Amino acid sequence: DINATSLNDSATLAEHWNGTSWSKVATVNPTVGSYFYGVTTIAANDVWAVGQSFNFGSNSWNTLIEHYNGSTWAVVTSANSSTLDYNELDTISAFSSTDIWAVGGHAPVDGSGNLGTFQSLAEHWDGASWTVVSTPNTATGGNAILGVNALEANHAVGVGYGDFVNGSAPQEGEAWDLTLGGSTNVVLNASASDNAFLSVARAADGVWAVGYASTSSLSPLGNLVWQANWNSSTHTLTWAASPGASDSPSSTFEFLNAVAAVSPSVFWAVGTEDNNTFVDQTLTEVYCGLHFMVSAPPTAVPGSAFWLTVPAKNADASTATGYQGTIPFTRHDSQSVMPAVYTHTP
């Protein structure tokens, strides 16, 4: 956003990189007081951004969704829990041009403008309109979905937080299984104190969510990372029984704000950390998990067998000598004969 003089005097801001430099691209502002918080790109002429704008008619904040068609940005009618509520969309993820998810939170507003309990908010685009998708919430406290990733048609994973009584009890890390037929959620806590997820990314069957956690109400925030596995055959997302391990350069304060997937075994995350001198600094971490390499002869003779070598590699590229998983083979050439499923031995 571009903030002129006050909170309610802001405008949306979009910039484009052409390979050499960044330039501002004109956007639309339904009212004074408009923000973009998230963006997703399907194609060069199919880009979506989400956020919120102030509705002076109802004196409340409403969702804002805009679409870029390759030449101009335009507002697309979005859904709200109620136009009288405070509504906010924080991020967006697309499976296709007709299957997109946007998530955030909403809260009732009283006559004095005070916000009530936050509840999770999810919306879905079917190619024609945006509609609110019902989502569960933990206990009676505030809830918000801050990260989302489209898994398959009409199915996405969302992450965020919930608490029991609007901040008087610890936050809970939450993950939502978002579907049009009925969404569910699960609590993922690394500690008995505050937990929250801010972003989630996926490549093939690999999924990581990132955020923060603290061990007690008096302890500083620390990185929180949690891994899941996506099975496209059974359409199920399975979260690990416990959080993953991340580098923790600071004992004073740190958290991971966003994550991106390069491959099922390589993820990048960014955030902030205190360098123990009470100065915040950028924090970047990379995850490289167990992965496989494949090598074969540069040429093959029809009708003759040849060797495939498929070593399992650790994060540091050393051979995973203790790996005992299986390797199934598939073929694109109907004339070829594939080896049976291979089981690694130590």
Please count the residues of the chain.
346
Tens of pLDDT, residue by residue over 121-165, are 999 999 999 999 999 988 667 899 999 999 999 999 999 998 855
Question: Which distant-in-sequence residues (6+ apart) come within 8 Å of 204 by Cβ?
Answer: 230, 263, 264
- To the nearest whole number, what is the mean pLDDT of the chain? 90
Q: How far is CA 85 from CA 26, 215, 233, 329, in A?
A: 28, 34, 39, 53
* Cross-strand bridge partners of residue 195: 213
The C-alpha atoms of residue 56 and residue 66 are separated, in whole angstroms, by 19
Q: Is 286 exposed, middle or buried (0-12, 13-18, 19+ CB in 10 A)?
A: exposed
Average pLDDT over residues 45-63: 90
AA letter at 83: T
Say whether pLDDT at 245 is over 80. yes
Average pLDDT over residues 296-316: 86
Tens of pLDDT, residue by residue over 66-86, are 999 999 999 999 999 887 889
The C-alpha atoms of residue 73 and residue 51 are separated, in whole angstroms, by 14
**87 neighbors 80 (Cβ within 8 angstroms):** yes
Say whether pLDDT at 26 is over 70. yes
Global pTM reads: 0.84
Say whether pLDDT at 253 is over 80. yes
Lowest mean pLDDT among 185-199, 276-290, 307-321: 307-321
Q: What is the DSSP string of 240-273?
A: -SS--------SS-EEEEEEEEEETTEEEEEEEE
AA letter at 38: G
The C-alpha atoms of residue 179 and residue 167 are separated, in whole angstroms, by 28
* Cross-strand bridge partners of residue 115: 109
C-alpha neighbours within 13 Å on the C-beta side of residue 301: 3
Closest-CA residue to 256 (of 217, 209, 194, 216): 209
The C-alpha atoms of residue 175 and residue 46 are separated, in whole angstroms, by 28
**47 neighbors 93 (Cβ within 8 angstroms):** no
The C-alpha atoms of residue 300 and residue 48 are separated, in whole angstroms, by 47
Question: Which distant-in-sequence residues (6+ apart) come within 8 Å of 264 by Cβ?
Answer: 203, 204, 205, 206, 289, 291
Average pLDDT over residues 238-255: 91
Closest-CA residue to 292 (of 267, 266, 260, 259): 266
The alpha carbon dihedral of 93, 99, 105, 110 has a sign of positive
* Cross-strand bridge partners of residue 319: 313
